[in-house]
């Protein structure tokens, strides 16, 4: 059984992944050859506006699934290592 703090964090992770667009965005970033993607390169593949993509990315950042780095006017996102694996492990340990 997980404690309250762990349950809160797991809920954030699963809520962030509970939207098909966020799953697509996360998949694009994790599959990127460079290991990161600019928000400017994420809008076209998912067919959403930049503000909408930024909103989705904010939720992925808050869940700990990606990190955000501001470079000039663009935000770049990198997948974090372990958050998704830690979430799965909470149910298999």
Going from the first residue of the chain to its last (93 residues), give the mean pLDDT of each consecutive group of 10, the final group possibly shorter. 88 94 96 94 95 96 96 95 83 74
4-92 CATH fold: Arc Repressor Mutant, subunit A (1.10.10)
Which residue in this structure is represented by tokens 């990127």?
A: 32
For residue 2, the model assigns a pLDDT of 83
Segment (H or E) for 33: none
Which residue in this structure is represented by tokens 């700990």?
A: 64
Structural domain spans, the chain: 4-92
């Amino acid at each position: 059984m997980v404690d309250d703090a762990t349950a809160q964090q797991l809920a954030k992770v699963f809520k962030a992944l509970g939207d098909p667009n966020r799953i697509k965005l996360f998949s694009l970033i994790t599959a990127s050859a460079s290991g990161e993607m600019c928000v400017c390169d994420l809008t076209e593949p998912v067919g959403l506006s930049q503000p909408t993509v930024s909103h989705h990315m904010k939720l992925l950042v808050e869940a700990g699934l990606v990190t955000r780095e501001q470079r000039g006017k663009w935000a770049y996102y990198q997948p974090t290592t372990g958050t998704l694996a830690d979430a799965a492990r909470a149910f298999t340990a």
